[in-house]
Chain A
């Protein structure tokens, strides 16, 4: 079974530039998550999709971050304009996501963003 795919793996940009990350979840997984992991910290949830609808985006800095999941499959996360503090690893995860009980989340390898 193929895992969660993410691209690019690494990205270096200058502050105030824009950047986009792509995620393809495990086939059949209804729920998709984007996490931000700053060096030395645990992942922090940015946004959660159930199919193509947003379930939780309470920690997404909406003035600069946006995300979409067209057709309920793959997803893109965009930052515009980037700030120095956005330097982090952006992790995508997916789960079967049906109901309120526990569903294992499977993580992709992440995209490491460096903002100069």
Chain B
């Protein structure tokens, strides 16, 4: 079993839709939860990070962490074609606190 599971998609939605992306994990030591966005032929860039459980909002993006269920989510409101990318969840914490463990990534396409 992988430490972090993420549905690879692909996911295709119309412009303006609400997008929900999620990951599950098995390591209860994880404390930091991140979402990265990766455009084709580019390196990942940090979108949001959350410490422990709770919600965090930044513009059209909302990250949720439920440590009791070992489940994290990213919501994108009013999705735009420019949001088309691969979204990677990543986690760290416990021993080796700075080591990131990534999910497989979900490929998202927003259709105009």
Contacts and interface: CB of A to CB of B under 8 A. Distances in A.
Interface of A: 4, 31, 33, 40-45, 48, 55-56, 91, 93, 95, 97, 100-110, 112
Contacts of B101: 45
A103 B98 contact: yes
A11 B44 CA distance: 20
Given A31-B98, A102-B51, A108 B105 contact: no
Interface in B84-100: 88, 90, 92, 96-100
20 contacts: A41-B105, A42-B102, A42-B103, A42-B105, A43-B44, A43-B102, A44-B102, A45-B101, A56-B99, A91-B43, A93-B43, A95-B98, A100-B97, A102-B32, A102-B92, A102-B97, A103-B98, A108-B43, A109-B41, A109-B42
Q: Nearest 10 pairs between A and B by C-beta?
A: A42-B102, A107-B43, A100-B97, A102-B32, A107-B44, A109-B43, A43-B102, A42-B105, A42-B104, A42-B88
Nearest to A59: B99
Interface of B: 4, 6, 8, 32, 41-46, 49, 51, 88, 90, 92, 96-105
Given A91-B44, A110-B43, A42 B98 contact: no
B104 A40 contact: yes
A95 B99 CA distance: 11
B58 to A, nearest CB: 14
A60 to B, nearest CB: 13
B49 A102 contact: yes
A103 B108 CA distance: 27
Contacts of B44: 43, 91, 107
Nearest to B103: A42
A112 to B, nearest CB: 8
A65 to B, nearest CB: 17
A33 B32 CA distance: 18
